[in-house]
């Protein structure tokens, strides 16, 4: 599994974990993130059961397990959080920040020691030492209770499935040719995202943020001008393609 | 300590056993419920047949008691089986986590903070040992309850024989009905016994 520092200052760092070449072939590749501050660490979308061992080994190369005090789950999908039952037995004590509507569902993955912090629909924040991360609502993108995480200091938006692409294993971490990358994102967004109205609302909110890196849960990350390019591309894309496009949305 | 943990490993048989026992007991309870109705009907029949079948009437009371006993015990056994299934799942998750921790140690190199896992590992090992003790205790309770039910149902065989003797005294116009009751008691007893025997057999595979 590749680990890349995508932001670092004197107080904290953002680590990205992914491109695990040993993962089972039919398991979708995922990006996991850790925000590592002086005394604490936040594990973002920790991934599925199949990924637990390489994730654990990779994290322990950078920080002791006791530092993980918080976990963030953007939504309830198994590729995002099905490893929870294993983390629950590994982490000494932690809070899981996740959409309130999924509490009863996510608990099926097994939670004894970890506490569920039910994030309301309007979002919230997570404080780690002096680092404050904003929880941004992204409902219906694709999950009906979906959250993203924005760090105003690092200017990183962890965008869950928004910006995701289905790619071959071992692809580079960052988008280098935006136009070529669009083809890899198109079907994913058209099929997995259900609502054009939700999409437009999210774009309007996110355009107000100062973003240097857009970090999705699958595929490559967007940096610099590619962030705005992505928002324009996404705005123009009709989503919900499993229903014929001539059907009205509301 | 870690080797001891590996000796108490779970297999798929253990996952299935508790659920299979619960299923067997469920079938036995359905028969017991039918037996309960049979005993009520038999009591009415005996009442209408007069003094010649007084002995039969007494037997129906015992059959009713036996059916109620069976239903109550089955509820208890079912609860134990559910607890056992839950505990088996917990044990599986604990073992799985420990395996993953040990794999992380073995498979990957240069893990600077690997020692930070020690506290979690020790806690997990203790938890597995406690869970295993609880698991053994539950198996013991389950065995005791099934044995008790088995012994009690065994007495149904005797009742079946006695009910046949008593039906011989019944008036000719109702003897066919008494025969039918006696047959039902015998059949029900045999079927319940078969389900309980299978439960004990299943249990013996994981609790010799």
Q: What is the ipTM of this complex?
A: 0.81
DSSP string computed for A103-139: HHHHGGG--SSSEEEEE-TT-EEEEETTEEEEEEE-T
Q: Strand A222-223 to strand A95-99: parallel, antiparallel, or no bridges (unpaired)?
A: unpaired
Distance CA A85, CA A109 (A): 5
Is residue A244 situated within a structural domain?
A: no
How do residues A136-161 score in pLDDT, each as one tens digit? 999 999 999 999 999 999 999 999 99
> Residue B1 in contact with residue B123, Cβ under 8 Å?
no
Answer whether A62 sits within 8 Å of B112, measured CB to CB.
yes
Is residue A245 situated within a structural domain?
A: no
The set of residues, in sequence order, having a beta carbon less than 8 Å from that of A184 and lying 6+ positions away, is A165, A166, A167, A219
Q: Strand A147-151 to strand A131-137: parallel, antiparallel, or no bridges (unpaired)?
A: antiparallel
List, in sequence order, every residue forming a beta bridge with A99; answer none if it has no partner: A119
The set of residues, in sequence order, having a beta carbon less than 8 Å from that of B82 and lying 6+ positions away, is B18, B22
Q: What is the pLDDT of residue B54?
A: 73
Place of tokens 């595979």: B205
> Residue A84 in contact with residue A108, Cβ under 8 Å?
no
> Residue B46 in contact with residue B53, Cβ under 8 Å?
yes
DSSP string computed for chain B: -HHHHHHT---HHHHHHHHHHHHHHHHHHHHHHHHHHHHHHHHHHHHHT-GGGHHHHHHHHHHHHHHHHHHHHHHHHHHHHHHHHHHHHHHHHHHHHHHHHHHHHHH----TTGGGGHHHHHHHHHHHHHHHHHHHHHHHHHHHHHHHHHHHHHHHHHHHHHHHHHHTTS-GGGHHHHHHHHHHHHHHHHHHHHHHHHHHHHHHHH--
Into how many domains does chain A fold? 1
Q: Is B120 in CB contact (< 8 Å) with chain A?
A: yes
Place of tokens 């654990």: A56
Distance CA A162, CA A231 (A): 10
Out of B96, B107, B113, the one facing A86 most closely (by C-beta) is B96
Q: What is the pLDDT of residue B205?
A: 87
Q: What is the pLDDT of residue A249?
A: 61
pLDDT < 50: residue spans in chain A: none
Is residue A115 situated within a structural domain?
A: yes
Closest-CA residue of A relative to B112 is: A61
Q: What is the pLDDT of residue B7?
A: 53
Q: What is the pLDDT of residue B4?
A: 56
H or E stretch at A182: helix A178-192
Is residue A249 situated within a structural domain?
A: no
Q: Where are the domains of chain B?
A: 2-206
Is residue A200 situated within a structural domain?
A: yes
Distance CA B74, CA B27 (A): 10
Distance CA B103, CA A53 (A): 7
Out of B93, B111, B112, the one facing A85 most closely (by C-beta) is B93
Q: Is B116 in CB contact (< 8 Å) with chain A?
A: yes
Cα angle for residues B36, B39, B41 (degrees, 5° grid): 110
CATH code, A230? 3.60.15.10
For testing the chain B interface, which of A90, A108, A113, A114 should be mutated: the one with the most B CBs within 10 Å? A90
Answer whether A64 sits within 8 Å of B113, measured CB to CB.
yes
Segment-wise mean pLDDT, segments of 10 residues, chain B, 208 residues: 56 76 86 85 80 74 84 86 86 91 87 93 94 93 92 78 73 75 82 90 88
- For the record, the structure tokens of A40 come out as 């604490």
Q: What is the pLDDT of residue B189?
A: 83
Average pLDDT value for chain A: 95
Out of B103, B113, B119, the one facing A63 most closely (by C-beta) is B113
């Amino acid at each position: 599994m590749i680990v890349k520092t995508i932001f670092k200052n004197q107080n904290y760092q953002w680590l990205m974990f992914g491109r695990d070449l040993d993962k089972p072939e039919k398991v979708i590749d995922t990006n996991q993130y850790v925000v590592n501050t002086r005394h604490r660490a936040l594990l973002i979308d920790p991934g599925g059961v199949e990924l637990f061992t390489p994730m654990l080994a990779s994290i322990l190369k950078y920080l002791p397990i006791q530092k993980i005090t918080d976990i963030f789950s953007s939504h309830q999908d198994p590729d995002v959080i099905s490893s929870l039952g294993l983390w629950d037995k590994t982490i000494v004590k932690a809070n899981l920040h996740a959409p309130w509507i999924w509490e009863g569902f996510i608990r099926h993955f097994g939670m004894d020691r970890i506490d569920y912090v039910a994030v309301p629909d309007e979002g919230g924040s997570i404080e780690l030492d002096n680092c404050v991360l904003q929880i941004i609502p992204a409902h219906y993108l694709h999950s009906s209770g979906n959250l993203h995480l924005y760090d105003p200091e690092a200017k990183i938006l962890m965008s869950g499935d928004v910006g995701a692409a289905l790619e071959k294993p071992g692809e580079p971490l960052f988008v280098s040719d935006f136009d070529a990358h669009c083809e890899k994102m198109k079907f994913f967004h058209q099929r997995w995202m259900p609502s054009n109205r939700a999409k437009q609302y999210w774009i309007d909110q996110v355009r107000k943020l100062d973003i240097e890196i857009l970090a999705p849960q699958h595929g490559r990350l967007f940096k610099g001008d590619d962030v705005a390019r992505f928002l324009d591309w996404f705005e123009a894309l009709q989503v919900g393609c499993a229903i014929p496009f001539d059907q009205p949305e509301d | 300590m870690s080797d001891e943990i590996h000796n108490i490993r779970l297999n798929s048989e253990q996952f299935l056993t508790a659920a299979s026992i619960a299923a067997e007991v469920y079938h036995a309870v359905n028969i017991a419920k039918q037996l309960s109705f049979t005993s009520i009907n038999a009591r009415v029949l005996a009442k209408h047949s007069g003094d010649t079948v007084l002995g039969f009437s007494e037997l129906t009371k015992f059959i009713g008691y036996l059916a109620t006993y069976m239903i109550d015990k089955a509820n208890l056994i079912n609860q134990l089986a559910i607890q056992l299934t839950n505990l088996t799942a917990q044990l599986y998750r604990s073992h799985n986590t420990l395996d993953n921790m040990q794999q992380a140690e073995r498979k990957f190199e240069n893990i600077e903070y690997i020692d930070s896992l020690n506290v979690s590992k020790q806690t997990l090992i203790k938890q597995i040992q406690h869970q295993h003790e609880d698991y053994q205790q539950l198996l013991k309770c389950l065995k005791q309850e099934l044995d008790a039910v088995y012994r009690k149902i065994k007495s149904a065989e005797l009742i079946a024989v006695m009910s046949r003797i008593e039906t011989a005294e019944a008036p000719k116009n109702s003897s066919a009905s008494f025969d039918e009751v006696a047959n039902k008691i015998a059949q029900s007893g045999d079927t319940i016994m078969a389900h309980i025997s299978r439960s004990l057999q299943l249990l013996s595979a994981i609790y010799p």
